[in-house]
Amino acid sequence: MGEALGCGGQVSDENLKSIEQALQPIYNTLPKIGMDCLDRRSLRYLAYRYFNQRFSIVVRGFEPSRPVNDSSWGSAEVLNQLVPGYVESVLESRHAKENGFDLGDAAYVVATLEQLIFDAETHLLEKVYQEQKKPMPRILSEQGLQQVLEAYMVHWMMGEDAQGTQILLGNQSLLASSFPHWGQLVNFASGQVRSLDFQRQTAPAAARSSGHTGGNALSQRYSFDDAHSIVGGITRSFASFWESECTDMKEVLVAMDPQHTGRVPLSKFYGTGLDSEWRFGESESYLRELGALDESGWTKQVIIPNYIQAASNCIVTTSHYMVCCANDCEPILRDIEEAVGESTAQAQQLISLVGNMTSMTSLEDETAVKISAALVSQLEATAAANGGKVPLHGRLFQQWVHYVFPRQCPFPHKTGTVVSVSPLEFGNYIASAEEMRAHAISADNSSNISATIAIEDMQWMSQWSEEEELFVDYQGLSHKSLFGRSFIKGGFLLFVVAALVGVVGFNRKTSKNEFLPQTQDHRITSIAVQRASPLTDAKAANIRQEKWAIRKRIWDYLEENNIAANPRPVHHRIPNFVGAELTAKQVEKLPEFHRSRWVKVNPDTPQKPVRAACLRAGKMLLVPQPRLRTGFFSLLNPAKIEPSNYMYACTQAGVVDLGEPIDLDAKIKVGMIVIGSVAVNPANGARIGKGEGFAELEYGMLRMMGAVDDDTPVVTCIHDCQLVDDIPSEKMLCHDVPVDIICTPTRIIRVNKAGQMPKPTGIYWDKLSPQKLASIKVLQILKAKLERELGQKLPSGPSEVLPPTAERVGKGGKGPKGKGTGKGGKGYIADKANEAQAQDGRRAEGASGTGSTGRSRWTAKATVASAAEPEATTDRAIPAPRRWRQKEEADR
């Protein structure tokens, strides 16, 4: 600890005792390892909660949105950067891993963090001294100290915007007129000086012994240590000073939520931003990235507590921490934890406890809590899936708390799906006036509908997810519906064993909430149990024949009615069809598409417009290598591809030229899968492909990697004539992948979850024929690796005659034995010509279009003012410091 605090650094016993008292209620409810101690993940969670409760500070590296595992537990960046030896020798030591941290240890670690965070601004204070040409040993007058503090406040709140900081510091009139509440901020800093004066007058001996005085206790003279003490006090208490701004903002949002769902239609959010409220201007993409946008229901909605807690509303953002709005959910969680006193609780105990609480969003708005029958059922289901008790520190319980207190408690997103990124880190975070106006006057009139329809009809709980995530290590507790999440942290092999060989006992006959323990021998030999009952080889063969009959019927219909598009004939292909580009437009409308950063799309021709849409939207695009011949997946990163090459990147040649190969060890999280189909039954999501099984193998490998799970939406793009009603669930095999969403040129169909078949959980080796295995090198490598690690042979499927492949016309092989015309043939040339024509069209469209600068009203005002002052003239617009912008005057 001495290394972390530096020379002379120490923490008083009184301060440690105070920290222990603050930690105690949460500490009591955290699961313990040996000797009643916490593991590192629990310590991280405890520290996050402490700083959030006490100072409304989010420590960088401790954000709940950051994934953690055994090898990367997510230590604070302030520790990694300033005292890496402390992290290695104390927090990551073998002793810490095996024995853990008791309450005293936790208090020491938190005290160290607290001191480092408040000392981290020393270099910034030194910079201000240097800029004002004040030697650090100099004793300052009250006026000199005030000059330092005012400059420090501008530097601190403007963050990394050095140029904007200098413009403001160089123009006092601009600073006073443009910086939000500047007069109050100056008074706040003066109050911190008065506080130090009072301490020196009431305890002069203590002040002198601490070195924090520039003279006698009654003189108004100040040393660098005094200034440093004052800026530390500013950091500690700034959130309380600024809380009135957060409260005002929340009251405006609550007024737009008559149904008490904790949600505001995006159209109303932007309408208010245009009409009267200067603060509501984040772009839709930024709201989505922050996790403040609910796109699962009847319209896009801003989640009030997620928005208030978002990084966009953190008033100060440094490289080590963010000072944010107070978390209204913390007092609720603290009351529950103090009453329970353990890491888990009976559902009925929690229902009784929470049912006696009140919900308060302001001093005037306090109502009794109402727990609906649906919420009672959800909590009981959570308990049943966890051995009869609810883990207090899990995503499902916090999700339940969110729906009980929708205005106070944020919706807990799955780890890694949202990020805590400041506006300047995000980039173009402001919505243009045109975008806001388009939402505000949208044809669905959602802002008027929400006030008149019943809450039951609003689908306000449509965001509910059954996937559990435990924020701390509940040893011995396995959530029964949590596939893979508890096992990812153990590394690649453990997840592979769980998913492919059945170490965790998943059985395809069961629902996803059932857990069937099995012996290892039984697991190895029965990893491919069918959905209904075990199939004989004869019955399975009969099902395959019936599927081929459906395929032929669809292929024939597409060709005979001239719906088929090139490449033709469509037989033995994922068929291309007239209107395929319209299905891409439907995909772009999906909330799932907007939420996803990584999208996997099959390499077939009808999905080419979808691949292009992903690149245009800035998605990380995963494309399987055709027929998995040369590898696994290729990654197309739009940031590394010229926009003029997007269409080329969506071709097979473009994937080879511009894609980056990834392997089965890649750590990725796919947000959405788009696959092609020959026929789909919308009643149950049953899908038939071209019969070669590549989509199923790709999905199985992604499941094995932990890149997808049951909640990852599977979307297919087909023509309306490919919708059928004669694919019952009984005709589907264990490895067949059902779809969640069907996009046709005319509509979007969501498969009813109640009737949908379960998704496969990996690769079923006992169904994989030697012929198929021999044709796919990546599978051979994977199987050999697993057999080495398991120390035994994996089963093989029965032999088969591989189905015929499509007739290839116009794109033959490169060598003399290749069929067709090869790269110089007419097919390739025509394809490239079409791409060039499309690119020319987009360039022309872009040249004639008009863009939006996305500048805020605060920015515009600051720019105009700076241009009027000679000493502040600049060609650069000053961005608003973080999220807050000066309210418009009445005459504007």
Instruction: Kindly state the average pLDDT of the residues 392-411.
Output: 95
Residue 874 in this model has a pLDDT that exceeds 50: no
- How does pLDDT run across 420-455, given as a tens digit for each residue? 888 888 888 888 888 888 887 763 444 444 444 555
Residue 882 in this model has a pLDDT that exceeds 60: no
Instruction: Say if residues 831 and 800 touch (Cβ distance below 8 Å).
Output: no
Instruction: Kindly state the average pLDDT of the residues 285-300.
Output: 89
Q: List the alpha helices (DSSP H) in 791-871.
A: 826-848, 857-868
Q: Quick one: 372 and 235 in the same domain?
A: no
Q: Which of 19-33, 509-523, 584-598 comes out lowest in average pLDDT? A: 509-523
Residue 583 lies inside a defined structural domain of this protein: yes
CA 627 – CA 351 distance, rounded (Å): 53
Domain boundary among 722, 749, 764: 764
CA 711 – CA 650 distance, rounded (Å): 27
- How does pLDDT run across 35-76, given as a tens digit for each residue? 788 888 888 899 999 999 999 999 888 887 776 554 444 555
Q: Quick one: 563 and 667 in the same domain?
A: yes
Instruction: Kindly state the average pLDDT of the residues 633-646.
Output: 90
Residue 507 in this model has a pLDDT that exceeds 90: no
Q: Quick one: 375 and 226 in the same domain?
A: no
Write down the residue that tokens 């069809």 correspond to: 577
Q: Quick one: 593 and 733 in the same domain?
A: yes
Burial of 434 (0-12, 13-18, 19+ CB in 10 A): exposed
CA 325 – CA 328 distance, rounded (Å): 9
Q: Which domain holds residue 76?
A: 13-202+215-239
Residue 861 lies inside a defined structural domain of this protein: no
CA 158 – CA 168 distance, rounded (Å): 10
Instruction: Kindly state the average pLDDT of the residues 261-277.
Output: 83
- How does pLDDT run across 837-850, given as a tens digit for each residue? 333 333 333 333 32
Question: Which segment, 400-409, 448-457, 873-882, is predicted with the most confidence on average?
Answer: 400-409
Could you give the C-alpha distances from 757 to 150, 379, 515, in angstroms and in order?
63, 25, 18
Domain count, the chain: 3
Instruction: Say if residues 584 and 609 touch (Cβ distance below 8 Å).
Output: yes
- Buried-state track 678-713, b at ≥16 Cβ within 10 A, e below 16: bbbbbbbbbbbbbbbbbbbbbbbbbbbbbbbbbebb
784 C-beta neighbours (distance < 10 Å), count: 11
Q: Interior CA angle at 119 toward 164 and 26, to 5°? A: 110
CA 461 – CA 829 distance, rounded (Å): 52
Could you give the C-alpha distances from 762 to 112, 440, 500, 596, in angstroms and in order?
45, 45, 5, 22
The pLDDT of residue 489 is 28
Could you give the C-alpha distances from 153 to 189, 321, 684, 707, 709, in angstroms and in order?
8, 16, 60, 44, 46
Q: Quick one: 556 and 657 in the same domain?
A: yes
Q: Quick one: 375 and 234 in the same domain?
A: no
For helices 142-158 and 182-202, give the axis angle rounded to 10 degrees. Answer: 130
Q: 547: part of which helix (H) or strand (E)? A: helix 537-560
Q: 302: part of which helix (H) or strand (E)? A: strand 301-303
Residue 422 lies inside a defined structural domain of this protein: no
Structure tokens at 14: 């009184």
Write down the residue that tokens 């959530």 correspond to: 479
Q: Quick one: 22 and 152 in the same domain?
A: yes
Residue 517 lies inside a defined structural domain of this protein: no
| Of residues 540 and 242, more confidently modeled | 242
Q: Quick one: 226 and 364 in the same domain?
A: no
Mean pLDDT for the chain overall? 75
Residue 792 lies inside a defined structural domain of this protein: no
CA 573 – CA 605 distance, rounded (Å): 9
Q: Which of 217-231, 438-452, 463-477, 560-574 comes out lowest in average pLDDT? A: 438-452
CA 767 – CA 774 distance, rounded (Å): 14
The pLDDT of residue 278 is 64
CA 334 – CA 828 distance, rounded (Å): 65
Q: Quick one: 235 and 344 in the same domain?
A: no
Q: How confident is the model at residue 309 (pLDDT cuts 50, 70, 90)?
A: very high
Q: Quick one: 685 and 557 in the same domain?
A: yes
- How does pLDDT run across 90-112, given as a tens digit for each residue? 555 555 566 788 999 899 888 88
752 contact partners, CB below 8 Å, separation of at least 6: 683
Residue 298 lies inside a defined structural domain of this protein: no
The pLDDT of residue 840 is 37
Q: Quick one: 219 and 358 in the same domain?
A: no
Domain boundary among 404, 436, 465: 404
Q: How confident is the model at residue 727 (pLDDT cuts 50, 70, 90)?
A: confident
Q: DSSP strand E in 595-724: where?
A: 598-601, 620-624, 633-636, 660-662, 672-675, 679-680, 687-688, 714-717
Instruction: Kindly state the average pLDDT of the residues 561-571.
Output: 91
Question: Which segment, 608-612, 700-704, 855-859, is predicted with the most confidence on average?
Answer: 608-612
Q: Quick one: 579 and 685 in the same domain?
A: yes
The pLDDT of residue 539 is 67
Instruction: Kindly state the average pLDDT of the residues 809-831.
Output: 34
Instruction: Report the CATH number at residue 632.
Output: 3.40.50.10420
CA 782 – CA 698 distance, rounded (Å): 13
Amino acid symbol at 804: P
The pLDDT of residue 411 is 96
- How does pLDDT run across 362-386, given as a tens digit for each residue? 555 667 888 999 899 999 999 998 8
498 contact partners, CB below 8 Å, separation of at least 6: 484, 487, 504, 506
Q: Which of 159-163, 167-171, 478-482, 602-606 comes out lowest in average pLDDT? A: 478-482
Structure tokens at 530: 């069918």
Q: How confident is the model at residue 456 (pLDDT cuts 50, 70, 90)?
A: low
Instruction: Kindly state the average pLDDT of the residues 724-743.
Output: 86
Residue 253 lies inside a defined structural domain of this protein: no
- How does pLDDT run across 413-422, given as a tens digit for each residue? 988 788 888 8
Residue 471 lies inside a defined structural domain of this protein: no
Domain boundary among 764, 785, 820: 764
CA 347 – CA 388 distance, rounded (Å): 8
The pLDDT of residue 28 is 93
Q: Which of 444-458, 474-488, 757-771, 854-868 comes out lowest in average pLDDT? A: 854-868
Q: Which of 9-23, 452-466, 547-561 comes out lowest in average pLDDT? A: 452-466
Percent of the chain with pLDDT over 90: 34
